[in-house]
Structure 1
Amino acid sequence: MTKTRVAVDVGGTFTDICIMDETTGAIRIEKTASTPDDPMRAVMNGVGQAEIDLTDVSMFSHGTTVATNALITRNLPRTAMVCTEGFRDVVEIRRANKEDLWDTYKDVAKPYIPRRDRLTVRERVDAEGQVLTPLNEDDARRVANVLKKRGVKSIAVCFMNSYVNPENEKRMRDILLEVIPDVPVSISAEIMPEIFEHERFSTAMANAVVSPVVVDYVSRLSDKLADGGYARELLLLHTGGGVMTPRAVRDYAARLAGSGIAAGAIASRFIGNLCGYPNTIGFDMGGTSTDVSVSYQGEPRITKDWYIEYGYPIRFPSIEVLTIGAGGGSLAWKDEGGSLRNGPQSAGAYPGPACYKNGNETATNTDANVVLGRLGTSLAGGKVTLDPALAAEAVRTTVAEPFGMTLHEAAEAIVRVANANMANAVRLLSISRGYDPRDFALCAFGGAGALHGAAVARELSIPTVIVPPNPGVTSALGCLLVDIQHDFSDSFMKRADQTEMAELEAAYRKIEAEARTQLEHEGVEEKDMILTRTAEMMYHGQWRSLEVPVSADIQDVQDLADAFHAEHEREYNYARKEAAVSIFRVAVKAIGLVPKAELQKHAVTPYTPEPVAHRPVWFEGSEFQASVFERETLKAGAKIAGPAIIEQFDSTTVVPPAMTAEVDAYMNILIDTKG
C-alpha cells in the first residue's frame, strides 16, 4: 500500500488540495469550492472529491484562513482583558498614529476587545522587574467573578513590565482559572515577552480573541479526519513558515492569522532552491491580489511588523509578504487627473471579468489579456468559458474610447499599468530592503502569475522566471514542505560591550530548555530537533532593531556586534562601527523535522516540441503568430522560443518575443528573459 501526503490550502473562492505519493514523488491536484460559513466542509469535500483514503495518509497539512477571517469580519466570541490599574486604554491609545496621516476623517478601527470588557486590578512591577505592588487578590477575584457572570469565552492578561517579571500575571491567571476553569487565558509575558506595551498587549489581545474560534475549528477537523481513519496529528501552517500541532494552537492561536499567504512564500523558496536559485522572489498573482515575498540565500525574509487590521500589531515572527490589489479581476479606471489606473478595485469571483458573462461591463486585466490573445477562450479545463466579444467591448468603452486609443493599445495599456504596480511591489521588498532584483529568480504562480511573470521580470531586469508545474495550487504544495516550528524569545536589554559571554549563553540555554520541552510535548525526538539562535540588536539609544544570526560556537560578544554592523550596512547601506551596540532581544527558532518525500524527478532530453496551434497575440504594439502548447504534453528538456503560450488546467504561461523557455527535471518552466 502506498503512503500519501495531503496538503489543503483554503482560499476565498477555491480550496486547493495537493496529494503527493511518497513512493514516487508524483503529485496530483484537486480543486473544490470554498465554504466560507464553515471551511471544514470544503476541506472534507475536497478529500472526498480527490478520493483520498485517510487510512493511507502519513501527513495532513493545512493552511487555514479561519483566524484571519475572524479578525477581518470581527465575528469574535466575547473576550475580556485584565490590565494594570490605569492602563486599560493602552490598546486604544496605540501609538497615536494613523494609516493615512493626512486623512483626518478616517479613524483607526476599535480594539478587538471593547472598553467595557477591559477591567483593571491593582499591581505594579518596575522596569527592573521588582514587584512594587503585589497583585491585589481581592481585585483579582472580583474581576474573575464579574467576567464569569458576563460569560466571556476568553481572557487576555496584560500587566505593565510583565515581560521582565511575569509573577503577577501568572498569579492572575491562576485565580481566573480557579473561578472560570474552562476559559482560555493568554498572558502577555508568555505570548510576547518583550518591551513596548502596546505591541505586547495587542498580540495577547489578538491571541485571546481568536483562540476559541481556532481551537474549535481545529478540534472539529481533527476529529473528522480521525473518524475517516487518519491516525497522525493534524499539522497547521503558521505565519512563521512552519507548522504547529493542535496542542500548540491552544496556546498560540494568533500564529494562524495570515497562514494562507505564508504557504506560497514557502513553496517559492523550495522551488527556487530545487532549481538552483537560493535567491528567489515569490510572485503569487490570483484573481484579486498579488502576494510578493523574498527568500535570500535560501531563507525567507522574516518580519515582526505585521497586522490584520492597522493599529493592532501581531508580533509573532512572520514571513514578510507584501499584498497589493492587483489580480486578474482588477478593474481599469480613469482617475480625476485623467490618468489610467488599475485596481485595487476588483470584479471579484462574481461577477468577475466582463468576459465571464456575468454582467460586469468594466475592463479587467483578464479582459485585456483576452483581447491581446494571451488568454484563450476557456479556463480550468473548459469549466469556465470566456467571451472575447464582451472582453473587447469592455476594453473599448472603459479605456480605448476615453483615452483615444485603438483596442489593442488600450488592452496593452491596462496590462502595462498592472505590471508596473506589481513591479513596484517587488521593488518595495527587494531594492528598498537592500537586495538587487538582478540577483534573484522570479517564481511566478497563482492563477495569473505565469501570465504576467515574464513582463514583470523584464521590468526589473530579473534574468529568470520559474513557473512551477501546477501554478494555481502552489500554495497548497507549500503546506507539504514544512517542519514543526516554534519561536521562543526573551528580552535582554543590554549593551554588547557590557555583556559577558557566559551571561548571553545562559539566556540562550534557558530559552532552549523551553523549546525542547515544547517539541517533546509534540512527540519530536531529540535527533529531529534543530535549535537556531538569533539576536535582535540596535545602535545604543535607538529602538528599531535588526535580527542577526548567532552561531552556536560564538566565543566573543564583539563578534556579534561585528555581525550587526555588517547586517546594518546591507540593509541600510551604512554602518557606524564606532557606535555602541545594544542587544534588545534573544531568540531561538525550534524546529522539529518532519520527514519529507522528494518530488518526482524526470530524465532531461532536450527537444523542440510541436505546438498544438498558433494564434495572433499582441506584444509592444505588434501582432505576432504565437505558438500554443498544452503543458501536460511537454516533457523534461522541452525548449520553446517566444512568442509562445503554454496552457494548462490552472494557469496560462506567456513567453514573450525574444525570450526562451525550457522544462527542467522537476517539470518547472524556466523562462530566460534575456532571450
Structure 2
Amino acid sequence: MTEASSRAERIRTAVDIGGTFTDVFIQRGDGTIVTAKYPTQADPIEGVLAGMKQAGVSWEDVEFFSHGTTIATNALITRRFPRVAMVTTEGFRDVLEIRRGDRESWDPYDEVAPPIVSRRHRLTVRERIGYDGKVLQALDEDHARDIARILRRREVEAVAVCFVNSFTNPEHEELMAEILQEELPGVSVTTSSDVLPEIFEYERFSTTVANAALVPIIGPYARTLEGRLSESGYANDVLLLHSGGGVMTPAMAERYGARLAASGIAAGAIASRHIARMCGFENSIGFDMGGTSTDVSLTDDGVLGTTNRWSVEFGHPICFPSIEVLTIGAGGGSIAWLDDAGSLRNGPQSAGSDPGPACYGMSGADATNTDANLILGTVGRKLAGGVRELDESQARAAVERIAAPLGLDADTAAQSIIKVANANMADAIRLISIRKGHDPRDFALVGFGGAGPLHAAYLAKDLGIPTVIIPPHPGVTSAMGCMLVDVQHDLTTMYLADAAEVDLGHLAESFRKLQAEGRERLVAEHVAEQDMVFEYYVDTRYMGQWRAIAVPVTMPLTSLDDVVATFHTQHHKEHNYADEQAGVEIYRISVRAIGVTPKPTVEPAQLIDPAEFTPVPIEVRRVLFPDESTRLDTPVYDRAHLPAGAILDGPCIVDQLDSTTVVPPRTTAQVDEWGNLLLRPAV
C-alpha cells in the first residue's frame, strides 16, 4: 500500500442525530468530503450505522468518530425517565418546588413543569453541614440505611444525593452514596458535591436530579454505541459532544449524563463560528433550522456566547457550562394551525420524521413548512438526494385545510405560512442579539441545517443583516461541528474572597487541585500529555451582587490587578455600568481541561473570473416567492457544478443533497474560495 493510499483511508467522521434526519460528515485523509443524510430511527444507533453505510465508509478505516445526540434532550422533553429518587437534608425536601420563590418569567406560556422527582420519592435524612464546612450534625447512618431500604422496596433505578452546604464539605454525601451503593446494588447514585459543588441549593439540586435521571439513559446508550461500533470494526475512542462545546468518552458520559442535554445544539454553534471566521467575519449569528426546531447562537468578536444556567424545560435549570443557544419550535416539520381567534400560527408542534409532513405520504395530515415550500416551488419533489419523494397533492390538500377558514387559496396560504415562520425565527434572532445590546446589522448570518438556507435570505432582509453565509454542506453542518471540538471538562469550586485581600498562594493551590482532577479525567480518556491544555477562570462580582462574570487568568498568579480591571470592562459591556471604586470579590474559580484533537483542514480553491462562467440550470421552475404576487420562472442550479468565484443573480434556487438555498429576487449569490455561498442584496 502506498503512503498516499494509506493517507486517503484515514477517515475522520462525525454524526449528528436530529429529530428528522441523522447527518453524517466524513473527511478522508486526502481532504475529500463525503456527506449523507438518513431518516432518524427509533433506535438512534441504527441510524448512525445506516448513515455510515449509505456513505460507503468502512468502520475499519475510521480513525476518529465524534457524535452529537438528542437522546438526553428528548428524555427531558418527553420525561421518559427511570424511577428517580432524591435524598436530602431534613427540612430541604421541597427545594425543587419552592425554587427561588419567584415567578422567573411573566410570560403566561412559561409554566413550570412538575419536578423530575415526585415528592413521594424525595426523602430526608438527619445530617447537617455548616456554611463553613463544619459538621453540625453527623449523618445518622442507621437512618440513612432505613432510607436506602425504603428506596429498594420502591424499586428506584437512580438516586440523587443533595445535602445542604455539601459544596463546602462532601463528607456526608459521600458516606450516603456508599450506603446507597451497598444497599441498592446496580442503582445509579449521583451526588451534588461531585456534579456541581457550588452554592445555591436550588440550582445545585436541580442539576443533580437531572443528571441522576439521565445517567441510566445516557450510560447504556453510550456503552451500546461503543460496543456496536467496535463490532463493526472501529478501534478508537467514541467521543460524545457535550453542551460546553467539547467532547467526552462514554466513561465520563456515564457519570455526567446531563452534560449531553444540549449535545447537538452546541455543534451547530461551533460550526457556524468556524465558517464565519473562515469568511473573515468575527461577528456572526448562527441560524440552524432543521426538521423540528431552529437554534440561534451569537459570536461576538470571535467568542461564542456561553451561559452557566440554562434549561430544556422552563423552571428546571441545568448549571453545567454551555454554549448559549436559543431554541424555538420552528423547523421544516413545524405545523401550521389556527388559534381560537382564527389567527394563523406556526409551531412549536412538529410532525417530526414519522409521520412527517403531509407531502411525505406517511399518514401525516397537518400542513407544515415543508408542505408550504413544496407548493411555492422553493423545494423540489425529492429530499436528501432522493431518499424522500414528496407528494405535492398531499401537501396541497393539507394547506387547503388551513386556507379555507381564512378565505385564502392554497398558494396564498402557503406564502402566509412561510411568512409567519420567518417572523418567529426573526424574533428569536432579535432576542439573542438586540436584547443583549448587539446590532444584527454588524453581524453575518450563517444559515444552515436542512431548512436554514430556504429562509436565511428573508431573515437577513427583515433584520438588515448585510451578508448571509450558506456553508458548502448546510444540512450536515452540525455534524461537521462535532469534528471541530476538543475533549473538554469544566471543573469548578466555590472560592469566596475579597479580590484585594486574597491569599494568592492559597488561590493558586486551589487551581492546582482542579487542574489535577482535570488531568486525571483526560488521562482516563487517553489524551496524551502534549495534547493537554488548561484554561483558568475567576468568577468575580461587585460586593453584594450575586451575578458573576468569568475572567480568564494566567499562571503563575502574581497579581489580580488585571483580573479586576478586566472585570470592570466586562461588567460595563454587559450591563452598561461599572464602578472602579467599588469592592470586587471572587465568587468561584474554574479550570477548563482540554484534550486537543486534530481538526479537519480544507484547502481554498482558485477563484474563476465570474465574467467567463455562465451557469447552466438543471431545470427552470415556476416559483412563488413569499414576497411576490406572481410565480416567476426560476432557474435551479446544482451546487456541485458551481465553481469558486461563480456569481448567480436572483431569483434562483441552488439545490444539493442535504439542503436547498433560495436566492430571492434582487439578491446575488457568490461562491467563495471555501465553497460557501455568500448572499447579498443586489447593487
- Give the structure-2-normalised TM-score: 0.91
The one of 254, 267, 273 aligned to 1:269: 273
> Which of 513, 528, 531 matches 2:534?
531
Query: What is aligned with 1:32?
Result: 38
Structure 2 CA distance for aligned equivalents of residues 189 and 674 of structure 1: 57
Residue among 635, 656, 659 paired with 2:667: 659
Q: Is the 8 A contact 1:99 1:310 kept in 2?
A: no
Which residue pairs with 1:650 in the alignment?
658
Distance in 1 of aligned mates of 2:346 and 2:469: 25
Distance 1:532-1:155 versus aligned 2 partners, 3 A rule: same
Residue matched to 1:436 = 439
1:5 aligns with 2:12: yes
Distance 1:422 1:163 in 2: 40
Kindly indicate whether the alpha-carbon contact (under 8 Å) linking 2:308 and 2:321 is maintained by their aligned counterparts in 1. yes
User: Residues of 2 paired with 1:118 and 1:629: CA distance?
Assistant: 60
Change (3 A) 1:595 1:404: same
Q: For the structure 1 residues 359 and 147, does the alpha-carbon distance in structure 2 shift closer, same or farther, using more than 3 Å as the test? A: closer
The 1-side partners of 2:50 and 2:364 are apart by 30
Please show how residues 210-249 of structure 1 align to structure 2 within 5 Å.
210-249=214-253
Establish whether residue 309 from structure 1 lines up as the match of residue 300 from structure 2. no
Residue 470 of structure 1 is matched in structure 2 by 473
The residue identity in structure 2 corresponding to 1:95 is: R
Which residue of the other structure, out of 28, 43, 52, is the alignment partner of 2:48?
43
Unmatched runs of 5 consecutive residues or more in structure 1: none
CA deviations on 1:444-472 (whole Å, 9 max, x unpaired) are: 11111001101111212222111112211
Pairwise CA distance, 1:594: 1.0
Whole-Å separation in 1 of the counterparts to 2:447 and 2:107: 36
Query: Does 2:124 correspond to 1:120?
Result: yes
Paired residue type of 2:144: A
Secondary structure in structure 1 of the residue aligned to 2:132: coil
Amino acid at match of 1:535: V
CA distance in 2, matches of 1:446, 1:468: 10
Change (3 A) 1:169 1:33: same
Report the equivalent of 2:421: 418
2:620 maps to 614
Q: 1:598 aligns with which of 594, 597, 601?
A: 601
Give the direction of change, closer, same or farther, for the CA distance of 1:329–1:518 in structure 2 (3 Å limit): closer
Q: Which residue of 2 aligns with 1:165?
A: 169
* Corresponding letter in the other structure for 1:343: G
RMSD: 2.6
Which stretch of the first structure deviates more once superposed, 42-51 or 589-598?
Answer: 42-51
Residue 550 (structure 1) aligns with: 553
The whole-number CA distance in structure 2 between the counterparts of 1:348 and 1:590 is 37
Cα distance change of structure 1 residues 108 and 410 upon mapping to structure 2, 3 Å threshold: closer
Aligned to 2:188: 184
Contact 2:297 2:324 in 1 (8 A): yes
CA distance in 2, matches of 1:145, 1:311: 31
Letter in 2 for 1:233: D
Cα distance in 2, alignment partners of residues 228 and 410 from structure 1: 49
Range that drifts further, 220-229 or 192-201: 220-229
Aligned position for 1:14: 21
Q: Distance in 2 between matches of 1:628 and 1:312?
A: 46
Give 1:561's aligned residue: 564
Letter in 1 for 2:169: N
Question: Displacement, 1:486?
Answer: 0.5
Query: Following superposition of structure 1 onto structure 2, how do residues 62-73 of structure 1 map, counting pairs within 5 Å?
Result: 62-73=67-78
Is the CA contact 2:20–2:291 (under 8 Å) kept in the aligned structure 1? Answer: no
8 Å CA contact 1:98, 1:108 repeated in 2: no
Give the letter for the 1:663 counterpart. Answer: V
Q: In structure 2, how many angstroms separate the alpha carbons of the residues matched to 1:167 and 1:131?
A: 9
- Counterpart residue type for residue 14 of structure 1: F
Structure 2 residues without counterparts, runs of 5 or longer:
1-5
Q: Which amino acid aligns with 2:195?
A: I
Structure 2 distance, partners of 1:109, 1:414, is 30
Question: What CA deviation, in whole Å up to 9, does each residue of 1:114-169 have, x standing for no partner?
Answer: 33332222211111222111222222233334434444332221111111121221
Count of residue pairs the alignment pairs up = 671
Aligned pair 1:91/2:96, yes or no?
Answer: yes
Q: CA deviation at 1:336?
A: 4.9
- Given that 1:263 and 1:479 are in contact with CA atoms closer than 8 Å, whether structure 2 keeps it comes out as yes
* Alignment partners' CA distance in 1, 2:18 and 2:373: 24
Tell me how far 1:397 sits from its aligned partner.
Answer: 5.6
Partner of 2:639: 631
Instruction: State the 1:543 CA deviation.
Output: 1.7
Kept in 2: contact 1:269–1:295 (CA 8 A): yes
Q: Summarize the Cα distance change of 1:363–1:52 in structure 2 as closer, same or farther, 3 Å threshold.
A: closer
Following superposition, the deviation at residue 54 of structure 1 comes to 1.7
Is 1:143 equivalent to 2:147 in the alignment?
Answer: yes
More off after superposition, 638-647 vs 50-59? 50-59
**Aligned position for 1:285:** 289
Query: Match of 1:55?
Result: 60
Cα distance in structure 2, aligned partners of 1:50 and 1:510: 45
> In the alignment, residue 617 of structure 1 is paired with which amino acid?
V
2:376 paired with 1:372: yes
- SS of 1:129's equivalent? coil
Cα displacement string for residues 206-249 of structure 1 (whole angstroms, at most 9, x for unaligned residues): 11121122111111221121122211111111111110012211
- Once the two structures are overlaid, the 10-residue window that deviates more, 60-69 or 160-169, is 60-69
Question: 441, 447, 450: which one pairs with 2:450?
Answer: 447
Shift of 1:192: 0.3
**Identity over aligned pairs, percent:** 51
Counterparts of residues 399-418 of structure 1 (less than 5 Å): 399=403, 410-418=413-421
Contact persistence 1:24–1:600 (CA under 8 A): no
Give the Å deviation of 1:332.
3.6
Equivalent position amino acid for 2:674 in 1: Y
For the Cα contact (< 8 Å) 1:606–1:636, is it kept in 2?
Answer: no
Q: Kindly state the Cα deviation for residue 353 of structure 1 after the two structures are TM-superposed.
A: 4.0
Q: 1:291, CA displacement in angstroms?
A: 0.9
Q: Secondary structure at the match of 1:251?
A: coil
1:569 Cα offset (Å): 1.9
CA distances 1:329-378 after superposition (whole Å, capped 9, x unpaired): 33444445564433323444455445445566664333433343322333
Aligned residue type for 1:453: A
After alignment, is 198-207 or 572-581 more displaced? 572-581
User: For structure 1, which segment, 327-336 or 419-428, has the greater mean C-alpha deviation from structure 2 after superposition?
Assistant: 327-336
Partner of 1:486: 489
Give the SS at the match of 1:502: helix
Cα shift at 1:612: 3.0
- CA distance in 1 between counterparts of 2:65 and 2:25 reads 10
1:202 maps to a residue whose letter is: S
Deviations 1:5-64 (A, max 9, x none): 12121222322222210x22212122223222x322222233333333222111111112
- Contact preservation (8 Å) 1:646, 1:652: yes
CA contact (8 A) 2:540 2:587 kept: yes
Shift of 1:622: 4.7
Contact 2:19 2:292 in 1 (8 A): no
Residue in 1 that maps onto 2:179: 175
What are the Cα deviations for residues 308-338 of structure 1, in whole angstroms up to 9, with x where unaligned? 2222211111111111122223344444556
